[in-house]
Structure 1
């Protein structure tokens, strides 16, 4: 048994070494501690997250739990009978009274979403900090382990940090060869109401979030009044922090709630947390989880394991997902690669240096982030993924469903992280329940469900604004149509019919809402009222308006949702009557129009945008992430989409840049896709940095997190998906290799990308041409493989592969 086990481990070691060689350098590295959040390194196990500053006199670890939100389950309707305002709005629009229509549209608004909350921070305060040298701070994406290493007073000193999903803890291991050992104090603090006590070798902090809050941009209250607290309401939490030494000595707890570490050369610090959140429709106090028992049980179990065992279990669990895809875009000059990551990023921006390893690192960083923040059932990654330090975070760090929530998951299937898609897919079921109430009360639609501009952990679906929000961002109801397309997207990649059958009612419900919401005007079906997310048109008399009818983005999302539902009925062989209704509706939808500038028209009338370079490009939805516009099938509309992007230019926010990478890739424009990808990696200074050399705008922070700015994680995920879209594109019937390969990536190799139809693909290329490929079918099926201007028909059995060698 030992002999066979040794051989198995040897094989695994060889495979892992090969994988690492293919991926080249996948470590973020820095030569100083982080001063700002945008310089700190993030780790997470899908529920618990930490933001690591790596200081030498004091080390701050900001903590988050993805289930810690303000608020309570949705209860009632903020604006009963809001739908009764619809006839007035439609009449105003028919009379071309757009200013009045905008005002009337505010009558169809409800409450705001709740705020995602910070858990707190662990502060490690060191005593001996006289002489620090040789500092290095790293995050190894191959293992999801962060570290700081340096010399303290002439002796080596290091800290490792990891977030373990198997053990539900964040673990730190501090070591030194100083004979005097480690001398430090541990403190916990939180912005939330809490109490802290220390006993034995542990700190316990118990607290609770507000039962009601308002967003940071709401002007109706002072910031200090935007959170309402009651210890008998809201989500409660228990955080446990324990210090463990090899001999059990050198750790003392104090009544003040802190812990002293005095003398050990090695100490392991374990952090765990649990909240009372028990589902979107459960009162977190009356029906909450036994969070105290859960947190204590997790700590008891983890405390019995060695750090090395926890580390091994964590790495094995993480690599099960991460190692599925490897990407090599070429080697960076070793002198450049040796520079700290933030310096590389800045030189990449300012000197236009070639750095393919940095470009591949950013792609894999997106996959790392998704594994780290999207593993909690029914609780998807939010606007900041998992990592937030503010009580009033930008845009509540909520789920913004007019692009940002969905963009978080664009790369999940194609980059072989289908399981990370599950939290969003589970969340859709919650939305469908509250969304039926919203459809009826706000829109007078009694069939199906819908979703507005924002949602939160409570699956809020109403349009926001409290009857005072600008309709450009508050009055929108296509979120359900958009998010439901993820159901068909998942099926196309996995061919899991059980999943499709189970989730078909959700997709049907979103389509039902769209059908009933449509009105007939000028012989076509369209929406009225409608908006194009966050954008405004200019009327001939100079009014900047938001509310209109027949807006292209509404129709695009409706069309895609109906097409998906129709495809699902055919795939499952069910619901033929509804399928006929879908087909009839699709045939009567308002068609696309091309404007006088050759652009894809965003509004029913050929009117200009208030801001021609606006960050949103929602009317291009049918091109990406939708599928009903394409270079092959709708060449004139694809050309109009390209013209739209040309007019918008390339200066925009981080998430918008990520979207544009994908749009250009779908247009098979590798030159512009790569140009925009480089724009996404534009170096941006930390928000609070005030030096003369500060850089602002959309791009990437020193820690590689996306700069909207401020930080939003969607750009990371959109950029990662965009790289995949440049390398491989697929439909249920075909796979195209290198559809938008730029000249700068003329040679490379990728393994493990997924394609629609249930396939995985490995391939290598040289001089922009595929030289070898392996296609594997996970479930059996046929496809057409397009490469180098040729097509090869494939029909494979489940698990069967075919190899293609060309050079």
Structure 2
């Protein structure tokens, strides 16, 4: 009797555990009970170079393939408009005479070519010949190990697919299994929107092609393969099957497997891209040889070893940070249904954690190629003409992609951007001279591409200056160099790589700025990214002088360059020039509405709720406006945000959440964070009551709309910003904690000064904090009214009961 009782207890325990597992909501798995029909429902994988977009269909499994180095074009001719700078005096004269209409027209003469486009490599299709009713379909992406899985049953036979993209082995692996011997039957096909050809030889399916050589929205798709030996980036895709049983079959353009039980598909991709300044045709890499070498090396390894190597490599980054926001009563639902439920105002703390960690997952998956940072869509683009060319938009979007790199403990993922900035500083020296007439330093503008294009865009005078004419991205980008240093304390990097680039950016702005009639330093001409003013005579224009955003970014650029020179103890004379210039800047102005003025004068915006809030740069991502040190400017920043309202695009919402966090308003930041996770229908989906606008698609991609990845990165960065804020001297704990996150723990968040933070709080009160120092140093911990000074040695950890 006693043994039966124990057995019953064990059964109760087992079933209870199963029930808990079924109902516990995951903070690291996206899952669905149907295949993806749209791009915005698919699940994405990547190793920082090869990107895969998996739809998980039953009879037809479609996988979009990308390589982050496959772009249209070739090295840019930076000297494309050698006498553009000669128009600057006339623009300044028009502005001096308050003739803004003329200034707008003349500003178009300071334009060059538009950027190149990020290209779609191809589509892989796995066609299954198993017919019958499908049951128990399940599709997931486990971001804790960067593996996607699909399972389903047909007539009692269970089919499983497992997908991952390995960084160490530079390969994509798909494992297919069936529960019944010999039930696996499939064919593989490959195609591309680019010029390409497909062939099968020695049981290897290969697709070779070339990207278009120039930016052209109307690029004609030529179905036949046209080999232009001297132009364009080449690409090679190789696919090979490893089988344990069954028979491999092939035709001229497809590869298949019949009557098998288990199989592996290897996908290897390479391009001829060999750097921003090398012709990919004449000086390119041997893409065919690289693809074949990676394929053969991976093919020789056991699946379990490939998988474990991939997981170990990925988790060394992902596992650095963990977050728990307390108890959740949310039911376990497919991710799309979770989003819908959350959009109705329901609680789902684990969805919030999932979104945060998904942002980190996307950065690890899209930013591991030096000189080629994550673009507007990360690395996942199926379109021949992607939105905004899926380029590097540098008046916010590229930078927002990297706000989470340092504070969420992914410093290595910052390196592709930092090395790209170095490339910009090369072409940017020519841009500074030819477009702006400044002979020292380097400049970069609104858009760029893999070729490190730095000229102002606008198709040589055909586009609106409000977005085309903006030479400030060098100031913004240079602050990323300082951020990398101040988080890592890597003085060798700052000395050998970073500081010369920061100095070059500052040199340009010293040469670019002029004085207004009162002797204040300003920029002229100036625009405020993508926004327009209404002049007193009713003229709606973009070209002005002394725009607040310009001065905020240059302030930050000069300030960080000064700090870098002090750290390195060099360039005292140049440092003095920057300090003298800063003392003469046209000061911030607070307008009649109590807002921080965007324009030199207190003029109205054409769109008062405009998505850009560039004038608030000094609050975030800059740090020279704070509630403590500059309360009047912080209050004016708050008023600006209130005037703009909370309804905006995805990436803009991501920015505004960070701004509210910097104002230490956790509840307002959280309100907008919830709105960022508002469910948005896929772009092509037709429903009776479509859900559109800024928010989040079913696969957790950011809806600008359309998809732009910067909102994901900005939103994830904001979660960290709500929990920890820091500068070179202090670390502020729980500065913008919303009421709903009353209890929780976080581990592995990074702070400036080279510190790592783990902490525990309950009832909104900090209970315990552990501080780790990478190289040793001093800081002051602040939480509420309490402060504590600490000094740690290299590698030392201190635990404090607060």
Whether contact under 8 Å (2:78, 2:427) holds in the other structure is no
Q: Do structure 1's residue 569 and structure 2's residue 565 form an aligned pair?
A: yes
Alpha-carbon separation, structure 2, partners of 1:106 and 1:222: 25
Q: How does 1:113-262 map to 2 (within 5 A)?
A: 113-214=115-216, 216=217, 230-247=228-245, 249-255=246-252, 257-262=253-258
Instruction: State the partner residue of 1:48.
Output: 50
Shift of 1:480: 0.7
Shift of 1:542: 1.5
Pick from 591, 594, 598 the counterpart of residue 598 of structure 1. 594
Cα shift readout 1:324-348 (whole Å, capped 9, x = no counterpart): 000011233252xx11001110111
Alpha-carbon separation, structure 2, partners of 1:229 and 1:383: 29
Whether contact under 8 Å (1:448, 1:511) holds in the other structure is yes
Whether contact under 8 Å (1:727, 1:741) holds in the other structure is yes
State TM-score, norm by structure 2: 0.95
Instruction: State the partner residue of 1:525.
Output: 521
State TM-score, norm by structure 1: 0.95
Instruction: State the partner residue of 1:374.
Output: 367
Shift of 1:671: 1.0
Whether contact under 8 Å (1:212, 1:229) holds in the other structure is no
Instruction: State the partner residue of 1:476.
Output: 470
Q: Which moved more, 1:178-187 or 1:29-38?
A: 178-187
Instruction: State the partner residue of 1:18.
Output: none
Q: Secondary structure at the match of 1:619?
A: helix
Alpha-carbon separation, structure 1, partners of 2:781 and 2:26: 28
Whether contact under 8 Å (2:237, 2:267) holds in the other structure is yes
Q: How does 1:327-726 map to 2 (within 5 A)?
A: 327-335=323-331, 338-349=332-343, 351-466=344-459, 467-502=461-496, 503-521=498-516, 522-726=518-722
Alpha-carbon separation, structure 1, partners of 2:588 and 2:154: 66
Q: How does 1:5-84 map to 2 (within 5 A)?
A: 25-84=27-86
Q: Secondary structure at the match of 2:275?
A: coil
Cα shift readout 1:707-733 (whole Å, capped 9, x = no counterpart): 000000000000000000000000100
Alpha-carbon separation, structure 1, partners of 2:43 and 2:762: 35
Alpha-carbon separation, structure 1, partners of 2:701 and 2:325: 21
Alpha-carbon separation, structure 2, partners of 1:118 and 1:730: 40
Shift of 1:154: 1.4
Alpha-carbon separation, structure 2, partners of 1:243 and 1:332: 44
Whether contact under 8 Å (1:408, 1:714) holds in the other structure is yes
Q: Do structure 1's residue 787 and structure 2's residue 783 form an aligned pair?
A: yes
Cα shift readout 1:189-248 (whole Å, capped 9, x = no counterpart): 00011111112332011100011123x4xxxx68779xx99453110011001111125x
Distance 1:200 1:716, change over 3 A: same
Q: Which moved more, 1:70-79 or 1:665-674?
A: 70-79
Shift of 1:44: 0.1
Distance 1:229 1:734, change over 3 A: farther
Alpha-carbon separation, structure 1, partners of 2:60 and 2:595: 55
Whether contact under 8 Å (2:701, 2:709) holds in the other structure is yes
Alpha-carbon separation, structure 1, partners of 2:125 and 2:689: 30
Instruction: State the partner residue of 2:11.
Output: none
Alpha-carbon separation, structure 2, partners of 1:684 and 1:640: 32
Q: Secondary structure at the match of 1:583?
A: helix
Instruction: State the partner residue of 1:742.
Output: 738
Cα shift readout 1:157-185 (whole Å, capped 9, x = no counterpart): 11001010011011100111123321111
Alpha-carbon separation, structure 1, partners of 2:755 and 2:115: 39
Q: Secondary structure at the match of 1:107?
A: helix
Whether contact under 8 Å (2:553, 2:618) holds in the other structure is yes
Alpha-carbon separation, structure 1, partners of 2:770 and 2:452: 42
Whether contact under 8 Å (1:324, 1:416) holds in the other structure is yes
Instruction: State the partner residue of 1:104.
Output: 106
Alpha-carbon separation, structure 2, partners of 1:263 and 1:789: 70
Cα shift readout 1:630-661 (whole Å, capped 9, x = no counterpart): 11111000000000000000110000000001
Distance 1:76 1:428, change over 3 A: closer
Alpha-carbon separation, structure 2, partners of 1:149 and 1:222: 39
Whether contact under 8 Å (1:415, 1:721) holds in the other structure is yes
Shift of 1:76: 4.7
Whether contact under 8 Å (1:200, 1:253) holds in the other structure is no
Aligned residues: CA RMSD? 1.6
Q: Secondary structure at the match of 1:745?
A: coil
Q: Secondary structure at the match of 2:406?
A: coil
Shift of 1:259: 0.8
Pick from 772, 787, 801 the counterpart of residue 797 of structure 2. 801
Alpha-carbon separation, structure 1, partners of 2:203 and 2:732: 58
Alpha-carbon separation, structure 2, partners of 1:464 and 1:704: 32
Pick from 761, 771, 778 the counterpart of residue 757 of structure 2. 761
Whether contact under 8 Å (1:211, 1:229) holds in the other structure is no
Q: Secondary structure at the match of 2:482?
A: helix
Alpha-carbon separation, structure 1, partners of 2:164 and 2:716: 23
Alpha-carbon separation, structure 1, partners of 2:220 and 2:295: 36
Whether contact under 8 Å (1:208, 1:235) holds in the other structure is yes
Shift of 1:94: 1.3
Instruction: State the partner residue of 2:14.
Output: none
Whether contact under 8 Å (1:345, 1:681) holds in the other structure is yes
Alpha-carbon separation, structure 2, partners of 1:187 and 1:24: 35
Cα shift readout 1:54-101 (whole Å, capped 9, x = no counterpart): 000100010000000000001252322101111111111111111111
Whether contact under 8 Å (1:40, 1:52) holds in the other structure is yes
Whether contact under 8 Å (1:770, 1:788) holds in the other structure is no
Whether contact under 8 Å (1:749, 1:764) holds in the other structure is yes
Q: Secondary structure at the match of 1:752?
A: strand
The runs of 5 or more residues in structure 2 that have no matched partner are 1-23
Alpha-carbon separation, structure 1, partners of 2:767 and 2:255: 60
Cα shift readout 1:517-563 (whole Å, capped 9, x = no counterpart): 00011210000001000000011122111000000000000000000
Instruction: State the partner residue of 1:264.
Output: 260
Q: Secondary structure at the match of 1:345?
A: helix
Shift of 1:774: 0.3
The runs of 5 or more residues in structure 1 that have no matched partner are 1-21
Q: Secondary structure at the match of 1:148?
A: strand
Distance 1:157 1:23, change over 3 A: closer
Alpha-carbon separation, structure 1, partners of 2:110 and 2:264: 54
